[in-house]
Structure 1
């Protein structure tokens, strides 16, 4: 379920101090009910790259098109990424977070920035923007816990602003609904839920 930006900005996340120059693009409640110590399991699921089969054909096709376009237009070249075009957010971390980067992403251009017991952040950069996927682990009204995802973005000039505006309808109509379903199926499969298949 999509949430207002205040669902992210009102919480005392560490990311606020690390990326104050990034704008909150989207906030989503993740379909990942669990207990107080389940964030590491969600982080492993998100970073593993093993759950691509959980996502629809349309979702996978959209990302295949995006990566092909990026290759043709040079958006994703090594000199456009982290530590080339932009410094990593890891360079901004306070000392207590430097030793806790979280897992490496498998087969994805994201990099983990940090992991605590309640939040995790990964970053990506290309010719269009520098982005952050922030996953927080929050308590709900029933006493359980679930994940909350915020996407933070720093567009790269006019091209980045145009790119973000151009993908907006695709994000809301196709990408996020498919992403939420895939995350839920992956989460249920880890829990041994027979409905997950």
Structure 2
């Protein structure tokens, strides 16, 4: 029997790769808190530099950096599209780093890239579990934004509607990003 996505994820988190999985999770948290802290302090440029450093380190250690880079770019494009729509709704404001009123800040698009770096690594255990992806997305997506607001990187304009929209969107966005990761993994195996 060939190991499925769940078996592969378990091997990564309990076998010899558990250190890499942990390092990926720690790297994501370091990047997330670092970027949010820098943006809240009005240092969006330094936040972008931190994102670049964390992502460069990530790509330097993954086994298939080209495939991973394609996933990161695809998720960044998806993030830019979603955040542009969300920005147009006027539910959240970004006091720092917004380069055009109708576009999301670059650091926010960079956070999508950072998030994408977890899909095949510290979030690999979610592969093959679309309902769990949807539930987790509906909870964790809004929590991430709420954390950014609480730490000063953004401001609610309409808190409750924003949280509802984010929950509904992330119930779709997490499964969609995982599907992009699955597609990339399958393409890498078939080469």
Question: Which bin holds the TM-score, normalised by the shorter protein?
Answer: 0.3 to 0.5
When you count strand as a share of all residues, which structure comes out higher? Answer: 1
TM-score, normalised to structure 2, is: 0.38
TM-score, normalised to structure 1, is: 0.37
When you count helix as a share of all residues, which structure comes out higher? Answer: 2
